[in-house]
Chains A and B, each alone.
Chain A
């Protein structure tokens, strides 16, 4: 089963009730099974042989966004995503994972991305920075990718984008844990980025940035360039006066802090700086920054669309209570999930596009 470390975390979480209020999946499904403690409890039962790790249990391990909200409000250091991810490995290895999950894994194997399609290319030559677009932006939210590249161009930055940009491993890691296939993807990705020999890699999708910055080194495939989130990079350009947005009033908006910016990078100010520069009057949702409620992930949307759309709907509810007009997003996965259920009279805004338009 799972490693001793993961089991130790599961054993501690199984009798702890403290973080369920933050779990977006628990909120939207109302299932006890979808609380962090229940997942720990089930794994503990398996280790004690009072339950079997079967298809149903595997399914339960996939009803989680790996959003880290539980971990972040906990003073113990125990991490449900750690044991949930390892349980997914177990599920895949034992052919117990849900069919929809297996389909996405197969897509990655055949096409390199979860969509099973040829990833559109944004390849271009440049000598200042490398931009890593990522598969969700490339395949599903291309406007965001184009806008980022436009912004850089307008600033006079010559950005390179790789031809055949390799997957970072972030998607596969959510599907099957930190297994060898993921480290192989990571290694290939790091090699391609290192081969570009540019000092900075600007990463559009914070999920990719997270795995590059926080996992690659321990797998021995460190990226030599400085890895910067696209939001932080653009905010710095704004701060340095290299971007001069025209003053244009766009009404009130709230920034959604995506899971990785919020809890892997604790990066909150850049998105807000971008929103202000794009002409939005900022309001705030109550659950924000580190405690921002997840709106789902692209992987989850792929294998459990119904639950993920409900989760995105939950985030819209938070926004509706603020009276703001627009939900402002700077992550392609968040954009994709939230775009599934935009409420009437509300607007979903991709901040890169909004900023590009105001330049």
Chain B
């Protein structure tokens, strides 16, 4: 959009009419803060003094009806709309790469209903997730979604990437927690998914939107289930001789009981990040595990876990390190405690069935370590979300001295991602577990889906024929 053109001002005034003059901005500094999200490349770009992708106009709706009005305007004029929650996504999903309208959803942060009898809470999706959790905790309940980004992501952002929290092994991820949604479609229509998530009333609408990264519509309200805060929560830690034994033991544990937290670290991460943050000094494969719920059930689960761990020769480290990990669970993410520029880094999280997960770990490790030796790449990994059928790997690469030139850095960054992700795909994994696709992995969606991609494309074409919603993301 040409900012000085007559049409620009016509559209701007229409948007002002829809959401209020004070909620529309074309100020440069206001637009500039949307040019950097948590995606490493956007940070690198800014750090190098380059101008990042900026919207033409920032719009901040305060209600579903206002979102609807904005989308009607955008759809008519065929203006790109990128929804921004907290901007904490690591995949560049919220970056307004096509310009147009940046729809900051954070004014929509109302608590709509908290019903402890029904076990549900409903809110607008611009609410910061920790605020929602605070509201529910006030009544002695929890949504049980405790991601490390809890204090910075919005409810909508968590849904849009189908995010996951540290308690996921017991309570699941976003799509296990969300019961229903209100969505504004690209043409401005407001729809509700069915009131419950499980039914035989045709295909479920919920999964179309959870994980859709703002490409199919804007989620405006969400209902979640809530559960009572646990009677007890006990933390434990173990040390395995190596990650292979760890994978075996964890599979057996998760097929027997349901820990809330189960995080198995490879040796490289045990001796680096785990050591730094909780002061654990030994080599091997560190596991912290948490059980919670009713006291009697937890006691029985504890017995089973200890038996299995012993069977696999694990050294039981008691409660201390598990507690320390829990206390410091977000310390890992503060500046100075985790990777930061000028380092290059990325999280290649994936999920697979138990028979493939270790294969993927090894294939990805060698694809990265062997191919990028001259860059002195380091590879660390842990597995933090487990299912009875499989597990995820949260694998990271780190380069301490990447190219200074941002374009050169971009190419190296993408080559590493291509190598790591292709090793995953070749071994039965998927592009991503919980951070999403965004801009970062968009180009690889067709490789992942093959001909199945046409299902997603058809959906996109039907719901968003003008392609206004979050262009260039999710391979759509």
Contact = CB atoms under 8 A, between A and B. Distances in A.
A54 to B, nearest CB: 7
Contacts of A52: 28
A42 B27 CA distance: 13
Contacts of B50: 50
Given A45-B46, A56-B30, A21 B152 contact: yes
Interface string B25-64: 0011110111010100001001101110000000010100
Given A14-B46, A18-B333, A30-B106, 16 more contacts: A15-B43, A17-B151, A19-B151, A20-B128, A20-B152, A21-B130, A27-B109, A31-B104, A31-B106, A41-B33, A48-B47, A48-B49, A50-B46, A57-B29, A74-B334, A75-B331
Nearest to B106: A30
Interface in A14-64: 14-22, 26-27, 29-33, 35, 38, 41-42, 44-45, 48-52, 54, 56-57, 60
A12 interface: yes
9 contacts: A12-B336, A14-B36, A15-B341, A33-B30, A41-B32, A54-B28, A56-B29, A75-B331, A287-B134
Contacts of A50: 46, 49-51
Given A17-B149, A75-B331, A76-B334, A32 B106 contact: yes
A55 B333 CA distance: 33
B88 interface: yes
Interface in B284-342: 330-331, 333-337, 340-341
A13 interface: yes
B156 interface: no
A287 B51 CA distance: 38
B49 A286 contact: no
A21 B104 CA distance: 16
Interface string A147-166: 00000000000000000000
A18 B330 contact: yes
A234 to B, nearest CB: 30
For the residues of B in contact with A, the DSSP-based class is: loop
B137 interface: yes
A44 B43 CA distance: 11
Interface string B2-35: 0000000000000000000000000111101110
Contacts of A22: 151
Contacts of B60: 30-31
Chain A interface size band reads 35 or more
B86 A15 contact: no
Nearest to A20: B152
A56 B131 contact: no
Contacts of B336: 12, 76
A32 B134 contact: no
B130 A15 contact: no
A222 B62 CA distance: 49
A45 B340 CA distance: 17
Contacts of A13: 335
Contacts of B84: 32
Contacts, number: 111
Contacts of B34: 32
A31 B86 contact: no
A14 B52 CA distance: 14
B253 to A, nearest CB: 31
Given A50-B49, A286-B137, A21 B151 contact: yes
B135 interface: yes
Interface in A87-110: none
Contact of A15 (B106, B151, B335): B335
Contact of B30 (A31, A76, A287): A31
A38 B33 contact: yes
Given A48-B49, A56-B28, A75 B33 contact: no
Given A21-B130, A50-B46, A286-B137, A12 B29 contact: no
A35 B86 CA distance: 10
Interface string A282-299: 000011000000000000
A-B interface, 7 closest residue pairs, ranked by CB to CB distance from nearest: A30-B107, A17-B152, A30-B106, A48-B49, A38-B33, A21-B151, A12-B335
A41 B334 contact: no
A115 interface: no
Contacts of B335: 12-13, 15-16, 76, 78
Given A17-B152, A41-B46, A75 B334 contact: yes
B138 interface: yes
A21 B29 contact: no
Given A17-B86, A21-B151, A48-B49, A42 B334 contact: no
Contact of A18 (B33, B152, B340): B152
B246 interface: no
A32 B49 contact: no
Nearest to A60: B29
